[in-house]
Amino acid sequence: MPPIYINTDNDNPKEKLFVAKLAGDKAAEMEKKMKEIVIKMIEKDPTFTTNKIKDPKGYSLRFVVSKFKSEGRETSCTIAGEILQYPKLTYMKGGPGTAMVSLGFSGSATATGSSAAIDCVEAVTESLVKKSLPAMREHMAKSR
């Protein structure tokens, strides 16, 4: 059985997977960090891959910074996550659409220091990826 594909393409501005608008001037750096963490965590599990494969079937993990507060050297953040089926499904009347595999889930953290915003996003993203792996495995087993 081929590995479960995890889409990490964040290039389409209309369908971004990693969104950190609330972080202002740190948004691009935080979005890049979320993508890096997803790839790093997926590479640790041979059941999954982020490498391009023929006829990929799997999921997109969408992470959105839903709360962000930075004061002095302390930053707190909350990230909302979704597991979306990949590739998009084609519906009779509406054309391609995204099917959500799980109800939304989230995590929060607080970090202190000069890189607190990145540390906060890194910790939460790592936690959310770990939470999502069993759900994706279970869903894929049912849908194959």
Average pLDDT score over the chain: 92
pLDDT of 22 reads 97
CA distance linking residue 9 with residue 110, whole number of Å: 27
What pTM was estimated for this model as a whole? 0.92
**Residue 116, Ramachandran bin (φ over 0: left; ψ between -120 and 50: alpha; else beta):** alpha
Please compute the mean of the pLDDT values over residues 44-64 and round it to a whole number: 95
Q: What is the pLDDT of residues 91-130, one digit of tens each?
A: 656 566 677 788 789 999 999 999 999 999 999 999 999 9
What DSSP state is assigned to residue 33? H
Determine the Cα angle at 66 with ends 91 and 26, to 5°: 110
- Shortest CA distance to 136 belongs to which of 59, 75, 77, 42? 59
DSSP alpha helix (H) spans, the chain: 27-43, 116-143
CA quadruple 108, 119, 9, 19: dihedral sign: positive
The residue ranking higher by pLDDT, 29 or 1, is 29
Task: Please work out, in degrees rounded to the nearest 5, the angle formed at the alpha carbon of residue 110 by the alpha carbons of 108 and 112.
Answer: 160
Domains of the chain, earliest start first: 4-139 (3.40.50)
